[in-house]
Amino acid sequence: MGKSSKDKRDAYYRLAKEEGWRARSAYKLLQIDEQFNLFEGVTRVVDLCAAPGSWSQVLSRVLIKGETFGRAGWEEKQKEARNYVLGMKDEKSQATEEKKQIEPRKPREGVRIVSIDLQPMSPLEGVTTLRADITHPSTIPLLLKALDPDTYDPSSTSPSAPVDLVISDGAPDVTGLHDLDIYVQSQLLWAALNLALCVLKPGGKFVAKIFRGKDVDLLFAQLKIVFDRVRVAKPRSSRASSIEAFVVCEGFHPPEGFKASLDVPLGAGIDLPQIEKEAVDADKKPSSKQREDGAIELELPSEDDEGGPEGGSRWIAPFLACGDLSAYDSDATYQLPKDRVSLDPVQPPTMPPYKKALEMRKLAGGAYGKTRGQENTSA
Ligand code: SAM
């Protein structure tokens, strides 16, 4: 698909270039914030699987620069852009009215943003970037040091000041085999959660990408054990045809005695073996019990005012579409003005995995390599 054709078919791809975002994913985080007021009271954040960095850009622009998006800024701009593209001029007044009701944001004090990815990331104002694997235990000390460079104590397993929010947009290279993709994605989610458990403060928030597979309800129920509220968000900028969605978990409440660690990570089961035995008290902790083998088993919540009971212990997380209805529809194709120039991406990939393949193809003489008669038979 050429750039111009992609501009037509993917309004958020085009808009991201126009508004200076490194990736269209920026709109997913902005729309989640619009729905959940995600950044309220937030100053310390960890962005996992962050490259090329559009979520980190959102953090930098909202927390450090105090820019206002959402209804007060971005949506209005978006409506104007949409009117321009579709030739409709009648939707502007509503956005202006909404602007009056929303407090503009201000730069915040004491902001700390740490972003991690396997891929290198171009620098961003106020963001510390780490090139590391979120599934590996060695990433924890790196993260702790990046969070508190002046007070870091190598013997400590938690930050001196825990963080308010952990976000993860992690995605493996998709194979197209749904079950495999869902499995690998869930492993990445567990890695992100384990890391979040190490650094989040009580009451903190965790947002992560999920693929909605058939066992996703179990995951929601498991998250409900350590968070007060678990909801599923589908931003308008995420294609309806995609199984992608985001869990938005608020009100982190670690079980008493729980010590998070990437050496003994919490996995896709329901055990938290690292909870100390003496902390298990049926009265204090009605959601956990000790099994015969000594491991701690957490009982899944069976009922909740927001979700609901269904078939015994099944707990259904509320599902929310986010992003104003006037926002672009990511599945629609929009008509573009004839004189429109297609822009280049804001930040080309620094080290894309396909770079080596392109070099090899070039060395082999182009897309189809050498012709039959020229084939190298020495190997
Ligand atoms: N949120 C990003 C943004 O807004 O620019 C986009 C993230 S992209 C969809 C997914 C990222 O996950 C990729 O950059 C990939 O390198 C990263 N990733 C996948 N597995 C990872 C791992 N084990 N550790 C760290 N990053 C990982």
Q: Tell whether ligand 1 has an atom less than 6 A from the beta carbon of residue 170.
A: yes
The pLDDT score that the predictor gives to residue 102 is 64
Against a cut of 0.90, is the pTM above it? no
Q: Is 277 a catalytic residue?
A: no
The pLDDT score that the predictor gives to residue 315 is 72
Can you list the domains of the chain with their CATH numbers?
3-86+106-264+315-363 (3.40.50.150)
Give 251's Cβ-side CA count (13 Å radius): 8
| Angle at the Cα of 315 from the Cα atoms of 314 and 320, rounded to 5 degrees | 140
Report d(CA 3, CA 342) in Å as an integer.
7
Residues 215 and 270 sit within 8 Å (Cβ to Cβ): no
Distance 188 CA to ligand 1 centre (A): 10
Ligand 1 nearest atom to the CA of residue 170, by list position: 12
Residues 148 and 160 sit within 8 Å (Cβ to Cβ): yes
Of the residues 209, 224, 234, 285, only one is catalytic, namely 209
**How far is CA 219 from each of CA 192, 232, 315, 353, rounded to the nearest angstrom?**
13, 11, 10, 31
Q: What backbone phi and psi angles, to 5 degrees, belong to 266?
A: -70, 130
Q: Tell whether ligand 1 has an atom less than 6 A from the beta carbon of residue 53.
A: yes
The pLDDT score that the predictor gives to residue 56 is 98
The pLDDT score that the predictor gives to residue 96 is 46
Phi-psi region at 124: left, alpha or beta (left = phi > 0; alpha = psi -120 to 50) = beta
Q: Give the gyration radius of the chain's Cα atoms.
A: 23
Average pLDDT for runs of 10 along the chain of length 379:
71 90 95 93 97 97 89 52 50 46 83 96 96 94 94 87 96 84 89 94 97 84 91 94 94 83 62 41 42 46 50 71 80 79 78 77 72 41
**How far is CA 154 from each of CA 117, 161, 259, rounded to the nearest angstrom?**
22, 15, 17
Report d(CA 135, CA 121) in Å as an integer.
18
Report d(CA 325, CA 333) in Å as an integer.
16
Q: Tell whether ligand 1 has an atom less than 6 A from the beta carbon of residue 25.
A: yes
